[in-house]
Amino acid sequence: MIHSSAEVQTNKIGDGTTIWQNCVILKDAVIGANCNINFNVFIENDVIIGNDVTVKSGVQIWDGLRIKDKVFVGPNATFTNDLIPRSKVYPNSFVGTTLEKGSSIGANSTILAGVIIGEYAFIGAGSVITKNIPPYTVWYGNPATHKGYITEDGTLLNKSLVSKEGKIYILEKNKPILK
């Protein structure tokens, strides 16, 4: 479903994807299946979005951004793609940023160009991300710092890998597993 007020120039959109009011999507963008692109989202040309992705309202997705499957991007999250921006001066290519499978970006977070957000990593609302984020980790703050871990199913763990319920986890290939 594409809302009548959206300007969608690409035909590379997977089945079951919904594009809401006032979105603008340029001609070379690729969007997977079963995505939800909320109100007032702008997507540039050199963008690839996987399957089952949610992009909330007020997000601009610039050239060079790669969003893998099952990613959540919260409202008004901000991405950059130029490390030294100047008015009317354009780089030969923009710096790429990758959001790996299952990662979550909290509302109003800022993600600087060139970083990789690891699989299932969780970025808290209002955070500023200036470096690569390892998989299954929780980060928040300005600048964001490592606060704990998260499981694939969304169980938050402290830095000692213990849940609120007192369950103890271990890291196996960077992934928290119940001990």
Secondary structure (DSSP) of the chain: -B-TT-EE----B-TT-EE-TT-EE-TT-EE-TT-EE-TT-EE-SS-EE-SS-EE-TT-EE-TTEEE-TT-EE-TT-EE---SS-BTTB--SSPPPEEE-TT-EE-TT-EE-TT-EEPTT-EE-TT-EE-S-B-TTEEEEETTEEEEEEE-TT--EE-TTSBBTT--BEEEETTEEEE-
Model pLDDT, residue 54: 98
Domain extent listing, the chain: 7-178
Is 7-178 a CATH 2.160.10.10 domain? yes
pLDDT-based confidence at 90, cuts 50/70/90?
A: confident
How far apart are the C-alpha atoms of 99 and 83, rounded to whole Å?
18
Amino acid type, 106: G
Per-residue pLDDT tens over the stretch 120-168: 999 999 999 999 999 999 999 999 999 999 999 999 999 999 999 999 9
How far apart are the C-alpha atoms of 129 and 6, rounded to whole Å?
30
pLDDT-based confidence at 93, cuts 50/70/90?
A: confident
Residue 140: beta bridge partners? 145
Among 136, 62, 131, residue whose Cα is nearest residue 102: 136
Copy the structure tokens of residue 142: 């300005």
pTM score, whole prediction: 0.93
Return mean pLDDT, the chain.
96
How far apart are the C-alpha atoms of 167 and 161, rounded to whole Å?
8
Vertex 36: Cα angle to 53 and 7 (nearest 5): 120
